[in-house]
Chain A
């Protein structure tokens, strides 16, 4: 398999989150004194029920929200939207209907002014890697939901950045498509190591993908548990579904959450 033209290999960047507290209005403590260090090239997943502030934390790192208390450092800088070393992927594909798949995949690179010839080569190669070969000139309207999210994944990787922030990128997909795309993400990430901060409400998804799983609870949003995932790599999401080791790990974390911290899903 051909390698993607990439020059991000030496741009390894970590994320340092230190004592971050965030309020949406008085009395509504969304994040309470959250600290987390993500090593360069590390894949960290944040899991938690809705309302635990995991997306808020991601948006703070992305610079989409201003940091109120505490500090976040990323490549010796404070977060800001449009940071050239950072890519962001949403739950919904946000593909532009008037652009073909290829032009959609190129969008981020185009907006950031990357070389036209280079980004086209990358886009075509990524489209092939996400399994959309032959759909380069199709409009998003002709794609299924899973295919659209594949294109969005290709668009995110086409940016060629050191840090990827992902906000439940597979949250809206059906179970099977989700597993396929998790494998695809693992595959792309294995080829091009990046620092990934991945938000999800699915513990199993987090365990499949991440080096470390950060479990958050709500009211207020705090980190309850950090788990080092010892499953060997390379992993395959579909294989792991029938791996007893994987299920043990998942069950242990559930037990710890329920025993140590009370029911985390409903509080």
Chain B
């Protein structure tokens, strides 16, 4: 398989002659199709959420029942009530877990900024100099083929049990994602646009800031979104393998001491962090890419 460096540029398909997108036509069989749809849309949504709530309650109920009836070893299964208690004890009545949340967030942010900075920088450099890209391609492809989590023990040997190891795992993941999306983004400028800029006599600077960069933004942004998710993944993995603090370290510690409720609690916190990160990126994307 070709590495991400050679992956073809994501080509946006130029909109062809079609003038307007046909609108979905209201159901013509029913004379009052419009009205009934207007009423039923929010109703469906309510039903959907009621359904989701029921599923959640049932799953949690069965889980609690398994715990109370001791169907399996209660130490192994944990219970939703105990998980909730853990979360309240550590996040609301005390701030014990907030420190770990802070450490993981900071570490993720550093890994993200460093990794995407290096990735975008390298991507732009390679876009400018295809020869350099060609020369270094096997090295990067080779490095990218190593499962990066497997590097964590090496980082620990080099940097000890510190956040540096976690940061490096995050960086090594984020870097390649941004490298390939930057190169794909830069390549997404259409040929016609290049010809137009040629005939206008645009300088390198004008080309880059007025065409190449804005054309690359959509692809770059999906890279950043993925990069942030992978920075979190890398950092938490690094923390699990060996770090003095952070949610990953807590996860590893709680699992080691069979505190299943706490493990679930930390997992929920990580899930929420992931969801918030995605939400923020979606919002920023919508604001930045209104023209799409």
Contacts and interface: CB of A to CB of B under 8 A. Distances in A.
Interface of A: 62, 64, 81-84, 86-88, 90, 92-94, 96-99, 107-108, 110-112, 139, 141, 144-146, 159, 165, 172, 174
Contacts of B202: 82, 111
B192 A94 contact: yes
B15 interface: yes
Given A84-B201, A88-B196, A88-B199, A111 B210 contact: yes
A145 B14 CA distance: 11
Contacts of B190: 94
B15 A141 contact: yes
A90 B192 contact: yes
Contacts, number: 73
17 contacts: A81-B198, A81-B199, A82-B199, A83-B201, A86-B199, A87-B199, A88-B195, A88-B196, A96-B215, A98-B217, A99-B291, A111-B200, A111-B201, A139-B291, A141-B292, A145-B19, A174-B17
B214 A98 contact: yes
Contacts of A94: 190, 192-193, 195-196
A98 B291 contact: yes
Contacts of B198: 64, 81-82
A81 B14 contact: no
A65 B20 CA distance: 37
Query: Chain B: interface residue count, which band?
Result: 20 to 34
B17 A92 contact: no
B192 A64 contact: no
The 8 closest A-B pairs by CB, nearest first: A82-B201, A88-B199, A94-B192, A144-B19, A139-B291, A98-B214, A94-B196, A111-B200
Which of B190, B201, B292 has the most C-beta atoms of chain A within 10 angstroms of its own C-beta? B201
A83 B199 CA distance: 8
B18 to A, nearest CB: 8
Which of A81, A83, A108, A111 has the most C-beta atoms of chain B within 10 angstroms of its own C-beta? A111
Contact of A90 (B18, B195, B206, B291): B195
Nearest to B14: A92
Contact of B200 (A92, A96, A98, A108): A108
A93 B16 CA distance: 11
B211 interface: yes
A22 to B, nearest CB: 18
Interface in B278-292: 290-292
A86 B215 CA distance: 26
Contacts of B211: 96
B48 to A, nearest CB: 31
Which of B14, B15, B196 has the most C-beta atoms of chain A within 10 angstroms of its own C-beta? B196
B199 A96 contact: no
Which of B16, B197, B290 has the most C-beta atoms of chain A within 10 angstroms of its own C-beta? B197
B191 to A, nearest CB: 9
B206 A111 contact: yes
Contact of A145 (B17, B196, B197, B199): B17
